[in-house]
Structure 1
Amino acid sequence: MNRADLNHATWRKSSYSNSNSNCIEVADGFSGLVPVRDSKDPHGPALVFPADDWTSFVSAIKQGEFPG
């Protein structure tokens, strides 16, 4: 997989975020990829997932497949 250049990525927080929670941010605009980072460490590393895998992961969370 090619490395995504995230230097000019526009990040957005989860709509479930608040100031006291552990949050992630994702960047849009990367064809077939979803970059993800920790909102508390914006200069730290980012993980980049294939978009199909990310969609499956989010769907599983919404369906309660992971214990909360």
Structure 2
Amino acid sequence: MINSSPLEDAIWCKSSYSRPADGCVAVARTSASVVGIGDTKDPEAGCIVVPTDAFDVLVSMIRRL
């Protein structure tokens, strides 16, 4: 069976700084060169999917703050 979504088999991770009961941003990198970004408080809301390069730029800019 072919996956219809590049995130169908993705492994989601959230920050180690967040507590189990707290909502947090979750991310999933895939071999399809995309990153999924979602909200752990509302996983049914879906996620946004961005190219890996764009996500890396975003993280780099956040680290500079």
TM-score, normalised by the number of residues in structure 1? 0.71
| Inter-partner Cα distance in structure 2 for 1:30 and 1:41 | 25
* Correspondence for 1:16: 17
Match of 1:32 in 2: 33
Measure the CA separation in 1 of the matches of 2:32 and 2:55. Answer: 13
Separation (CA, whole Å) in 1 of partners of 2:54 and 2:47: 16
**TM-score relative to the length of structure 2:** 0.73
Over the matched positions of the two proteins, sequence identity in percent amounts to 35
Aligned residue type for 2:11:
T
- Does the alignment pair 1:49 with 2:24? no
Deviation at 1:27?
A: 1.2
Q: RMSD of the TM alignment (CA)?
A: 2.1
Gaps of 5+ in 1: none
How many aligned residue pairs are there?
Answer: 62
**Partner-residue secondary structure (3-state), 2:43:** coil
Q: Which runs of 5+ in 2 are unaligned?
A: none
